Chains A and B, each alone.
Chain A
Amino acid sequence: MSERANANAGLSTTLRRVRRALVLVAVGLGIQLATTLMWTPLTFVLFAALGLGAVGLGAAAFLWSIWRHIDEADEEASS
């Protein structure tokens, strides 16, 4: 595979990871929105456990995907 093709493949992998992370964040915000509409003790727990959990995981996954992208680009440059 050529260098350019390698770079494109790397970028599309990163894009996929970023999109997945964003989807997770969107799901978390969606749960937060839904639970806020009907505020009860149970929905507060769901808000905290699922809503915050998904947003936190999504944000972490986003940062991780950027980290991986930089790491892989460095490896590629050094090889």
Chain B
Amino acid sequence: MNTALMLATTFVALVIVIVAIVTTTELVRHSSGRFLLLVAAVLLPLAVSGGGVLAGVKRSSETDFCISCHEMEPYGRSLFVDNAESLPAAHYQQRLITREQTCYACHTDYAMFGDVKAKLNGLKHVWVHYVTGAPDKIELYQPYPNYNCLHCHDDARGFLEVKEHKKDPAALQSGEVSCLKCHDVGHDLRAAGDGPFWQAAEKP
């Protein structure tokens, strides 16, 4: 559900509820009116709220949303640094991940409750941003898990044909050997400060 539709449905639902408040006395006199009250007080608001939650969850997974807090601005800029070794920059610039959900694509566990965990962590981030203040050095909650990389790369030709990946695939699968052991440049925050930056060429 997009924002305009969500706003429109919430507004219509609100108007219906207000009309129901004003006309409650008349509505309770007829069975159809009582049903309308049930719709206005329970069915419609819950449906609209459910749609709102879905739209909210989707929007809160977007790149713009993640970097809207100033603490995340350098991480957003690091997507544009001209450094092919930097994993986030390479993934973003080569379109290996969707640009609309850049942060979410790599920082959400591809496990059963990965999305829920990401949203709960997001709540924690809001608390830190507004109440306790962000730490000087922002770190991951846990070492970056291999399964987040392998979710996409596991059966990719570019991954399978690399000599080093063939040596001990089980160690990579189990996480015994971290992908970051070799691919060790995450967000290039030094270059994110003063560049150089990659500029997308203008479309002809």
Where the two chains meet, the residues of A that have a C-beta atom closer than 8 Å to any C-beta of B are 11, 14-15, 18-19, 21-23, 25-26, 28-30, 32-33, 36-37, 39-42, 44-45, 47-48, 51-52, 55-56, 58-59, 62-63
Contact = CB atoms under 8 A, between A and B. Distances in A.
A29 B48 contact: yes
Interface in B1-32: 3, 6-7, 10-11, 13-14, 17-18, 20-21, 24-25, 28
| Residue picked from B17, B42, B45, B52, most chain A C-beta under 10 Å | B45
B99 interface: no
B10 A32 contact: yes
A32 B52 contact: yes
Give 10 nearest A-B pairs by CB, closest first: A62-B41, A29-B14, A59-B42, A26-B17, A22-B21, A55-B45, A33-B10, A41-B126, A25-B45, A55-B49
B68 A36 contact: no
| Residue picked from A18, A51, A63, most chain B C-beta under 10 Å | A18
Contacts of B38: 62
Given A22-B41, A58-B41, A32 B21 contact: no
B64 to A, nearest CB: 10
A45 B40 contact: no
Interface residues of B, number: 37
16 contacts: A22-B21, A22-B24, A29-B14, A29-B49, A30-B14, A32-B49, A36-B52, A41-B129, A42-B126, A44-B56, A44-B60, A51-B49, A52-B53, A55-B45, A59-B45, A63-B42
Interface of B: 3, 6-7, 10-11, 13-14, 17-18, 20-21, 24-25, 28, 37-38, 40-42, 45-46, 48-49, 52-53, 56, 59-60, 65, 68-69, 122-123, 125-126, 129-130
Contacts of A58: 41, 45
A28 B44 CA distance: 13
A42 B129 CA distance: 9
A28 B41 CA distance: 11
A59 B13 CA distance: 13
